[in-house]
Amino acid sequence: MSFGGRGSRRAMSEINVTPLVDVMLVLLIIFMITAPALLQQVEVNLPKSTVGQAEGKEGLVITVKGIDEIFIDKEKVSLKDFDARFAAARTRLGDRVVFLQGDEQVPYGRVMEVADRIKGAGVDKVGLVVEGVQEKTKGR
């Protein structure tokens, strides 16, 4: 019971384009989804950073914990005494790096006021201490 007869067994000389079309459609969908995401990025020049602490130096840490709570290396000072205490700490500790950290509940204006006072004391570079953000895309 053969269906084709005697000479009907010929080699298939055509390319099966169905898998090619499937792959091309998948690639087209991927590019259609990712292209708008690439265009919405804002181009910025990020500062270069090394992971870890500064080599060979410890920093002078200024902490703004509340509206009236300012610390210079764990020593609580008031805002009106800050300038004198900060100058004394810089004289005592030498030319150390200055790090400014503010609690997330403290108003931005208070942190900037302390930063202005640090800048007014002659410090050109102030490092802002932030908590690292973990990626939340790991469950998708």
Rg, C-alpha atoms of the chain? 32
Q: State phi, psi for 127 to the nearest 5 degrees.
A: -90, 130
Query: Are the CB atoms for 91 and 60 separated by under 8 Å?
Result: no
Give the Cα separation of 129 and 9 in Å (integer).
77
Indicate whether 2 pLDDT > 70: no
Q: Which CATH class is domain 59-128?
A: alpha beta
pLDDT in tens, 7-54: 567 777 888 899 999 999 999 999 998 887 766 544 544 444 455 544
Cα–Cα distance measured from residue 122 to residue 119, given in angstroms and rounded to the nearest whole number: 5
Enter the tokens of residue 97: 């790096």
Per-domain residue ranges for the chain?
59-128
Tell me which residue of 102, 95, 89, 106 sits closest to 128, measured CA to CA: 102
Predicted confidence (pLDDT) per residue in 44-80, tens digit: 444 444 555 444 457 788 888 877 888 888 888 988 8
Torsion of CA 6, 12, 14, 17, to 10 degrees: 120
